[in-house]
Amino acid sequence: MLAYTLQRLLYVIPVAFGVSVICFMLVHIAPGDPLTAVMPIDATAEQQAAMRAEYGFDKPLPVQFAIWFGNALQGDLGASIATGRSVSSEVSRAVGNTLILAFAASLIGFPLGIFFGFVAGIFKDTLIDRAVTAFAITGVSVPNYWLGIVLVVIFSVTLGWLPSTGAGPGGSTNWAWDFEHLRFIILPAVTLAVVPMGIVTRTVRALVGDILSQDFVGALRAKGLSQVGVLRHVVRNVTPTALSVVGLQLGYLLGGSILIETVFNWPGTGFLLSNAIFQRDLPLLQGTILVLALFFVFANLIVDLLQPLVDPRIKRG
Amino acid sequence: MSTTVDTKVPAVPARPAAEQAPAQSKGYWQGVGARLSRDPVAMVCAGLLTLLLAAVVFAPLLPLADPFTGSMISRLKPIGTEGHILGTDELGRDMLARLIYGGRLTLMLGLLPVIFAFLIGTFLGVLAGYVGGWLNTVIMRTVDVFFAFPSILLAIAISGALGAGIVNSLVSLTIVFIPPITRVAESVTASVRSLEYVDAARISGARALTVVRVHVLGNVMSPIFVYATSLTSVSMILAAGLSFLGLGVKPPQPEWGLMLNTLRTAIYIDPVLAALPGAMIFLTSLCLNLLSDGLRSAMNIKD
């Protein structure tokens, strides 16, 4: 158990380093350098060189990486080219709203997905199973940015029940867990939850169906165990795989929220990213991607560290 | 199936690759074809996709309005307007023509990255799985790092850094799909490599390239291919999503994601019209997923 935990913790270091390298390279795969887009057209060669030197773009790449990485370790992700503000403070203000949205979506998507998956798996090849399967494949096929627009048309434009954009009354960007704010999160959270729900449903259904067809279940039934008792065994066998699928879907929620936030004007990292894309503000893009990717790495780490609790085989090594 | 690549457990054949070996003959594929043709859902989807593909490929031959010519006096005409069966968009351009021409770009941007990634990923995965050793470590650890990015995030990151444009969108999506395909290719290759007939071929003096070509590729191609088909719908949704965000295709080119974005302002005027491009993405992706599911069960591959 301890060895597993240590091994998993140590594994994060090279992965996080690799993620940093890729994020660093993002700025440098672009044609020209990040300043080309914002430099005045009539800037003289000296002015251009001075600006490059100010941002450190005149140094060799490995040196630039070392400086950037050293700063990043101390929480300094550089300055936004468009606004001049610190990327770290911009991202830390926005990432909270993204996490709130992802959390709300996981509260909707995961329990429902697990429930539907179980029901379909237990009643395999019945009408219920077909209905759930059809529902799930619709869920995984839907482009969620379109679904968001459709939900806005139905619930905001036509019925007028829920607000269509923003994260709070009067354009407030500070989240609070009260009724007024919750009305704003319903549509984006449901939209974001649909795809992970479909994927979890499909996975759990396949797992449950697989386990129910195994010999040991027949043996349990033969010795007279009740249906509930059999299901307890199924749950124990399904949990580890279901947990890792849920962990991967957390990443989907973080990444997928970018498009959803654009649709709903949700003031999170997706909003920040679309600004960065429009203004070609590469340091802001780089910083936001790095923070989101690291959140995903750590979410997976936590899921892996939880694995031994649900799967005793890992404990024994 | 899934809408994110990262979720997918590698599609390893239900039976070990060894047992599949004799089944790779013509008879095997005939069996798959026969089973697939008995699956009504898969056949309907295949029919619809063929129809769409034909419409998209032969768009210039169809009696369609010009997708670029708009008219200020006939903007946002509803569905069923005379001369514009599916109405007109926010600049008065014919929706039917734009949807069909838009499908060209959306399908191309969705399918090409999977094809490129299939070629590159299979190459890298087979190389890593067959050669093993340090080469395997280098390739697979690099793949691991890319897996640390949720697929949408990686697509947006690379596209955002490269800037808008069709080629940039193709490049970024290809990079997104190389790691998962490489991982699947590596794991099937590694399991085939240790089989006795591969050893036998090697001992009999066959060159490495011959062994890979004859004995390895024949066995690993079909699981990799099936896995790749399951990525096409994700790829298309991501491609349209990039254009929706302002990356990818630039106006006035018709593309479903971009059309969905520019029509967003019209949801208060004509919501059904505004939802049409998204409905096309949805239906195409649903067909791709159902067909891929049908193919998997016809080939007896489990998740």
Here the CATH number for the domain that contains residue B165 is: 1.10.3720.10
Provide the percentage of residues in chain B whose pLDDT is more than 90: 27
State yes or no: pLDDT of B3 exceeds 50.
no
Say yes or no: A254 contacts chain B, CB-CB below 8 A: yes
CB spacing of B4 vs A249 below 8 angstroms: yes
Is B94 a member of any domain? yes
Is B16 a member of any domain? no
**ipTM for the assembly:** 0.86
Residue from B161, B145, B153 nearest A255 by CA? B153
State yes or no: pLDDT of A297 exceeds 50.
yes
Say yes or no: A157 contacts chain B, CB-CB below 8 A: yes
pLDDT at A80: 82
CB spacing of B289 vs A137 below 8 angstroms: yes
Instruction: Give Cα separations from B219 to B18, B36, B181 (angstroms).
Output: 8, 21, 15
Interface of A with B in 23-42 (CB under 8 A): 23, 26-27, 29-31
SS3 B84: strand
Question: What's the rounded mean pLDDT across residues B110-138?
Answer: 93
State yes or no: pLDDT of B112 exceeds 90.
yes
Other Cβ atoms less than 10 A from the Cβ of A12: the count is: 17
Per-residue pLDDT band for B8 (boundaries 50, 70, 90) equals very low
SS3 B62: coil
pLDDT at B147: 86
pLDDT at B20: 46
pTM, two decimal places: 0.85
CB spacing of B267 vs A157 below 8 angstroms: yes
Which CATH number does the domain A89-272 belong to among 2.160.10.10, 1.10.40.60, 1.10.1130.10, 1.10.3720.10? 1.10.3720.10
Domain extent for B273: 33-64+86-298
Say yes or no: A303 contacts chain B, CB-CB below 8 A: no
CB spacing of B3 vs A248 below 8 angstroms: no
SS3 A226: coil
**Helix or strand run (H / E) with residue A7:** helix A2-29
Say which of B4, B154, B285 has its CB closest to residue A252: B4
CB spacing of B6 vs A252 below 8 angstroms: yes
Tell me how far apart the alpha carbons of residues A235 and A109 are, in angstroms, rounded to a whole number. 19
Question: What's the rounded mean pLDDT across residues A30-57?
Answer: 72
pLDDT tens track for A63-89: 888 888 888 888 888 888 777 788 888
| Cis amide linkage into residue B252, ω under 30° from 0 | yes
Pairs of residues, one from chain A and one from chain B, whose beta carbons lie less than 8 Å apart: 178
Say which of B149, B267, B282 has its CB closest to residue A142: B282
pLDDT at B26: 64
CB spacing of A274 vs B245 below 8 angstroms: yes
Is B172 a member of any domain? yes
Question: What's the rounded mean pLDDT across residues A148-158?
Answer: 86
pLDDT at A37: 63
Asked which of A21-25, A165-169, A236-240, A277-281 is least confident by mean pLDDT, the reply is A165-169
State yes or no: pLDDT of B5 exceeds 70.
no
Is B228 a member of any domain? yes
Say which of A202, A248, A258 has its CB closest to residue B6: A248
Residue from A102, A135, A143 nearest A116 by CA? A135
Comparing B157 with B303, the larger pLDDT belongs to B157
Tokens representing B38 are 């008995």
Say which of A141, A146, A256 has its CB closest to residue B152: A256
Q: Where are the domains of chain A?
A: 89-272
pLDDT tens track for B137-194: 999 999 989 988 888 889 999 988 888 889 999 999 999 999 999 999 999 998 888 8
pLDDT at B48: 92
CB spacing of B7 vs A27 below 8 angstroms: no
pLDDT tens track for B38-90: 888 888 999 999 999 988 888 788 777 778 777 777 777 777 777 777 777 77
Indicate the number of domains in chain B.
1
